[in-house]
Amino acid sequence: MEIKISNTISFFWNYDICFLILAKSFPLDWKQIQFFYNGTISINELGLKLLSLACGAAGVATFLLVLVVIAIRNDIF
């Protein structure tokens, strides 16, 4: 149970970092991204790309972190 909770926390932490890095890397595109319009959820194409890229990058980073932890616990290094 501990591993599942820590993986989820790690994923969301990595997701936030990846989201901010991608957003700050492209400041002109960041101004055009739209998540809400007139109080409703209305994600445009740039917003959808940013969300999917951040999710993919966070998934890879979380996988690598878990892989390193498993390797350290099993004395692979």
pLDDT of residue 22: 79
Residue pLDDT, tens place only, 39-63:
788 888 888 888 888 888 888 888 8
Tokens, residue 32: 């055009």
What band does 1 get if pLDDT is binned at 50, 70 and 90?
Answer: very low
Q: What's the rounded mean pLDDT across residues 14-38?
A: 80
0.75 surpassed by pTM: no
CA–CA distances in Å: residue 17 to residues 1, 4, 49, 72: 25, 20, 16, 24
pLDDT of residue 5: 66
Which residues have C-beta within 8 Å of that of residue 4, sequence separation ≥ 6?
Answer: none
C-alpha to C-alpha distance for 24 and 50, rounded to whole angstroms: 11
What band does 2 get if pLDDT is binned at 50, 70 and 90?
Answer: low
Residue ranges covered by each domain of the chain: 2-73
